[in-house]
Amino acid sequence: MRLKSLQPRIPMLGQSQPRDYDRFRGSSTKRGYNYRWQQARAFFLAEHPLCVDCEKEGRVGVATEVDHIVPHRGDMALFWASETNWQGLCKRHHSAKTAKGQ
């Protein structure tokens, strides 16, 4: 009988591992990022073309991402609260915010 090699179940410190929650959070469409979102996103970015974080730094940056200021975590009312919960960010600032888990 041959034994298959076993993958360690606990990642070693410093090793890059895929985020476990990615497997359980559902597709982008199931989370609300569908055609309706794409249309709303395009309209919002046309109306708010500058990155708010770049502006705070005294720079001009093009907003390419629509950020939920308060993470909606599946709350569709908060997801669609465009006037109070959306802001335009450049890719760099959006990625930095997402990496911090905000």
What confidence tier does 100 reach under pLDDT thresholds 50, 70, 90? confident
pLDDT of amino acid 33: 74
Higher-confidence position of 33 and 99: 99
Which 3-state string (H, E, C) describes the chain? CCCCCCCCCCCCCCCCCCCCHHHHCCCCCCCCCCHHHHHHHHHHHHHCCECHHHHHCCCCCECCEEEECCCCCCCHHHHCCHHHHEEEECHHHHHHHHHCCC
pLDDT of amino acid 26: 61
Question: Is residue 42's pLDDT more than 60?
Answer: yes
What confidence tier does 84 reach under pLDDT thresholds 50, 70, 90? very high
Question: Is residue 11's pLDDT more than 60?
Answer: no
This prediction has a pTM of 0.69
Query: Mean pLDDT of all residues in the chain?
Result: 81
